[in-house]
Structure 1
């Protein structure tokens, strides 16, 4: 990139002009990039492990749902048997009244159990939603209020995340884990340094803020990340926006991403 070449050329010029302590070296620049790449690889491995665990949980959940179907069938048969038994007793005897009371209690408990099973199946019918989306290319100049489009969807369980809009929409109510990492790059148009600010938003309202501080005098790259839990209702939206215009977001090195999954 032109910006990186300018920074590197400036460093080499300082050395060739006889200045004893240049502000940066190519070795230091490559070393920082390598460190960031290693951290990114470790983070991606952790996310991949999380997705693998979620897939295992989904498999176990499906088996549990099959068992619940069998239990519901047995409950229906038992309820039918109770109805037939009630029809055969003598409602005029004292023992019948006691039996009827017991039957009503049993029927109430069965109905409550059936309702709880139905609710559980509705809530856990589909696999737990999860996603990991990476910014596939650099954003050379942001605009104020711009939604960052994490367009390379690496992991997608369910259809809650839209790579074309950069928005995650909660499919069910519950607790979600959300993580964001933004990597900025120093632009030569800034006189000394640049504060790049981004916001994690819930339904267009600020939830958390990320600050990226880049400066050609110290470091051209800087990253800001956040991992948080969010209580979301069905249909709630989560996205990441740029606060300022003309900011540079690094994407070609695959170190800017947005991810999340349903906890419970």
Structure 2
């Protein structure tokens, strides 16, 4: 009896341990399944990373190839830029030589240049008075060698730098003041004034030598409320000529 009870106790203990082992084994199997699942997930993730790594490596190679092409193009453009700089330097040198030659040619030709003009005011009688100062248009060109006088605008334009001489005569036949300005560009140089206190024809004249640069303008201007007179007999005349170039 005692022996059977002892055996039964050992049997139950063994069975308990067996169940514990079975439970532990089941737990290990569960953990193993989880581990295997995680391993599969890692393998899948690694496969994705490998694909992405391969794609990035391909992109890197493409970028290296593209950069190589850009470096070649950059080198070519830098070479072209240097060539253009050299070419522009040559053009600048040639342009300076051309400018110097042109300047020398102008100086040479200016020594032979002939400039002279005379123009009458009008055939229409009285000019003015006006409410404001006005440039006088000496419309009857008598002489215009060198074509420096513009009879439409009433201005003389210096064709070369030089010393010029200008003169004028202005007339009227009514009592009162008559006169005019001589301008160099926009600066008045002479103001000629005459009082006709007797009626009948009277005139005023003047002349001046002016140093002009090429493009300078000389003109005569009638002040506001003043008047002049001219007809086919040329009472009012504007003249000028080049003395010598400078």
The secondary structure found in structure 2 opposite 1:263 is strand
Question: Where does residue 228 of structure 1 map in the other structure?
Answer: 208
Please report how far the alpha carbon of residue 236 of structure 1 lies from its aligned counterpart in structure 2 after TM superposition: 0.5
Please report how far the alpha carbon of residue 179 of structure 1 lies from its aligned counterpart in structure 2 after TM superposition: 0.6
> Which one of 174, 185, 191 corresponds to residue 209 of structure 1?
191
- Unpaired runs of 5+ residues, structure 1, are 1-113, 187-192
- 8 Å CA contact 2:170–2:179 kept in 1: the answer is no
Please report how far the alpha carbon of residue 243 of structure 1 lies from its aligned counterpart in structure 2 after TM superposition: 1.0
Poorly superposed stretches of 4+, deviation over 3 Å: 114-120
2:112 corresponds to 1:132: no
Which structure carries more strand by proportion? 2
> Using the alignment, how far apart are the partners of 1:157 and 1:238 within structure 2?
16
Please report how far the alpha carbon of residue 122 of structure 1 lies from its aligned counterpart in structure 2 after TM superposition: 3.6
Question: Where does residue 44 of structure 2 map in the other structure?
Answer: none
> Using the alignment, how far apart are the partners of 1:183 and 1:220 within structure 2?
10
Question: Where does residue 197 of structure 1 map in the other structure?
Answer: 179
Q: Structure 1 pair 157/213, CA: closer, same or farther in 2 (3 Å)?
A: same
2:103 corresponds to 1:123: no
TM-score using structure 1 length: 0.49
> Using the alignment, how far apart are the partners of 2:103 and 2:186 within structure 1?
35
2:135 corresponds to 1:147: yes
Question: Where does residue 241 of structure 1 map in the other structure?
Answer: 221
Q: Deviations over 1:112-133 (max 9, x none)?
A: xx999756424235x3111111
2:175 corresponds to 1:179: no
- 8 Å CA contact 1:175–1:263 kept in 2: the answer is yes
Q: Deviations over 1:44-82 (max 9, x none)?
A: xxxxxxxxxxxxxxxxxxxxxxxxxxxxxxxxxxxxxxx
The secondary structure found in structure 1 opposite 2:229 is coil
Question: Superposition pairs for residues 49-128 of structure 1, below 5 Å?
Answer: 118=105, 120-124=107-111, 127-128=113-114
TM-score using structure 2 length: 0.53
Q: Structure 1 pair 121/139, CA: closer, same or farther in 2 (3 Å)?
A: same
> Using the alignment, how far apart are the partners of 1:246 and 1:116 within structure 2?
44
> Using the alignment, how far apart are the partners of 1:158 and 1:146 within structure 2?
26
2:243 corresponds to 1:263: yes
Alignment: residue pair count: 142
> Using the alignment, how far apart are the partners of 1:197 and 1:227 within structure 2?
14
- 8 Å CA contact 2:171–2:230 kept in 1: the answer is yes
Please report how far the alpha carbon of residue 227 of structure 1 lies from its aligned counterpart in structure 2 after TM superposition: 1.5
- 8 Å CA contact 1:135–1:252 kept in 2: the answer is no
